[in-house]
Amino acid sequence: MKYKLIVLDVDGTMLNSNREVTKRTVQTLRRVQQMGIKVALASGRPTYGILPLARQIDLDVYEGYIISYNGAQVMEAKDGQIIFERRIDPQMVPYIEKKARKMGLTMAYYDGNEVVSDDISNPHIVDEAQMNGMSLRQDEMISVGMDDWPSEIMLVSDDEQALNSLEEHMQRHLAGVMDTIHSNPYYLEIVGYQVGKSYAMSALVQKMGIQMSEVLAIGDGAADINMLQMAGTGVAMGNATEGVRRCADFTTLSNDEDGAAVAIERAIVREVRVADIPIDAINAQSGTTLMGNLGIQYTFASAERVEATMPVDHRTRQPFGILHGGATLALAETVAGLGSMIACQPDEFVVGMQVSGNHVSSAYEGDTVRAVCTPVHLGRSSHVWNVDVFTSTDKLVSSVRVVNSVMKKK
């Protein structure tokens, strides 16, 4: 498979204009993760503000990553382990505060689940806190009250010229000490030296042991440019500025048209081949699901046939040591589900509609049964599968018919 990592910007990319993740985007991101491709959300937001979005796309389940503070921190979504971090030297905070006060700028930083600012009535600061689900805390002297090295400091003003002037000053006098990111007209973000999404992406690629050519990056803002240029394939959103679009390999639809999902479907889902179906990765990721709890493991997958095994043990037997019929039906639905996922188009998804089985003989505790799933009908609105379940000696245990409904992503 060409890509092993997707690095996805959040605001203006994964989220639409209402700051929502659409159903199509959720389904597409879950699908590629089921294929064994890792996903990293990369944002200027604090980690606290990204976590709910990460859970929404099951980033914790599929062991993805969170790149926060515009690249100052990279964290594993599953257990919160930090794998990369660069903070601001606190000795520089009084200097930043002095400049901000002289130019009449509002100053703020993130502290856990709080946005700390010298003006919590500033509407941009209020919006930042609400967007990330964080509370506000007033601190007139930030450089005195700060008790930890900050990941990022925000300077806020509606006077974009003042922010541009300060950015130019800091780039001239503090090169090699701190970096600046001007993510939108009213924010100037101060970060540690060599902090950016591209640096964080490089650290993540090194940690995963993959090549940059195996990375697909998608974004819409100036903070995403280096990331798009560095990745094997860089995709600009349709709502991106002309400058961002020129730096990308291609441009997708806007964030209000599911542009990120469309780009991923175009680059990955449509290109997947039978040989690319990562059975080992799917099996490894099923540990906390019904499939994992019953011990189901895929052994073969193609467009014409899907096979899986399931042990007859304390998890799947009846009290008398015989394979439970309900477990057999769960096994059948599992193989038919993967079969439909392979068969459906990139803009489609499937849901189970009906399952019925004829149990013709018994399998006993200590045995391992094998399910063989083949298509009966692959239509535009439904898939019908036949699933035969055999013992280890090839005795037929059950013959099951599974019907899946094919639906278009919205």
Amino acid at the residue 150: P
Closest by CA position to 9, among listed 256, 235, 202: 235
Nearest to 83 by CA among 234, 202, 218: 202
* Active-site residue, 333 included: yes
349 strand-pairing partners: 407
Measure Cα distances from 128 to 103, 121, 152, 199 in Å: 21, 12, 14, 24
Give me the sign of the Cα torsion angle 284, 288, 291, 294. positive
Q: Which residue has the tokens 């697909």?
A: 216
What is the token pair recorded at 15? 């989220």
Catalytic option among 168, 333, 348, 365: 333
Q: Give dist(CA 248, CA 183) in Å, integer.
A: 18
The first and second tokens of residue 366, run together, are 């200590």
The sheet that has 178-184: what strands, in order across it?
Answer: 135-138, 114-117, 106-111, 153-156, 187-192, 178-184
Q: Contact at 8 Å (CB) between 42 and 200?
A: yes
CA dihedral 296, 406, 6, 73 (to 10 degrees): -80
Of 192, 181, 201, whose CA–CA distance to 67 is shortest? 201
List phi, psi (to 5°) of 237.
Answer: -75, 155
Q: How far is CA 191 from the centre of its chain?
A: 24
Q: Is 15 helix (H, G, I), strand (E, B) or coil?
A: coil
Closest CA to 389 of 293, 321, 312: 312
Q: How far is CA 117 from CA 122, 154, 161, 182, 218, in A?
A: 9, 9, 21, 19, 31
C-alpha separations of 213 from 37, 106, 202, 298 in Å = 14, 41, 11, 29
Which residues carry out catalysis?
A: 333
